[in-house]
Amino acid sequence: MRDLEGKTAVITGSASGMGLAFAECFGREGMNVVMADIEEPALRVAATRVESLGATVLPVVTDVGDEGSMDALGQAVRDAFGAAHLVCLNAGVTPPTGPIESLTTNDWRWVFDVNLFGVVHGIRVFLPELKARDEGSLVITASVAGLTSFPWLSAYNATKHAVTSIAESLYAELAEDGSRVRVHCLCPGMVATRIGDAERNRPKALQNAGGVAPPSPSGDLSEYAGSFEHFARQPPEVAELVLAAVVEERFWIETDSVYREAIKARHRSIENRTPPPATGTIMDPYFAK
């Protein structure tokens, strides 16, 4: 989709992090921007920030894991601007790191509601209109965790593998139909966002009794905190990569190449029927010699 001026972008998880950077980026390109997020105070502040760039902005408080809330988002977009042209299904959370048996049913339900069903609901709400117009783009935020399977992140890995597969399947379906609607799969590595603090937005019904248990030492990523700022991408950098992929109509979007060997090793293990190769933590590739 090369001509963005005057068209409408819908971005979930846009009160902070990558979503906010996407809103700013597409707003500067002359698009109307619909900003959806569950965190109302932060969303109001973020919307004002994007409006200051000269963009027309519609903030909509949205729980992406809730079917009715996503239906309401779709209706708000139609009422304000008509059908959307660009939809970034970006909202995401991560449960505590640690062994798979330490995760509660609430942990699994929460991360699946946001990371997986947020994408499922978004496709259901917005794809028919994109297909009817035979124009537009869907950007699905997956992760390198959807291309690898490092330990201590089982629930997060599972959702990101799922949405990567959804993006690939949707691409194939649209190609079979001869559709001009494009799909883009964003697989970022480490990005300086607040996803590690996502617990602040966990619904009360899915909170664990007694609070959140600390991560297992074997799955604790805190030892990397001091080095994080040296290798994490900044959200505006990622937004520019997404913009380029949308304009150039490219499917895969990566933020760096540090995980390429880990991805290749996983593919080789599947081809050769050998055990999964990922060990250590998802941060280790940044420190590989």
DSSP element (H, E) containing 237: helix 235-248
130 Cα distance to chain centroid: 20
Is residue 41 a contact partner of residue 63, using CB atoms and an 8 Å limit? Answer: no
**How far, in Å, CA of 161 to CA of 64, rounded?**
18
DSSP classification of residue 282 = T
Is residue 37 a contact partner of residue 115, using CB atoms and an 8 Å limit? Answer: no
DSSP element (H, E) containing 48: helix 40-51
Token readout for 12 is 């979930």
156 is catalytic: yes
**How far, in Å, CA of 178 to CA of 208, rounded?**
47
Which SS3 state, helix, strand or coil, does residue 252 take? strand
Handedness of CA 237, 242, 245, 247 (dihedral sign): negative
Sheet-wide strand order for 32-37: 57-61, 32-37, 8-12, 86-89, 137-141, 182-187, 252-254
Nearest of 131, 160, 168, 139 to residue 14 by alpha carbon: 139
Residue 88 β-bridge partners: 11, 139
Which SS3 state, helix, strand or coil, does residue 14 take? coil
Is residue 63 a contact partner of residue 114, using CB atoms and an 8 Å limit? Answer: no
How many angstroms separate the Cα of 74 from the Cα of each of 25, 77, 86, 237?
22, 5, 13, 28
For residue 148, the tally of other CB atoms under 10 A from its CB is 22
Residues noted as catalytic: 156
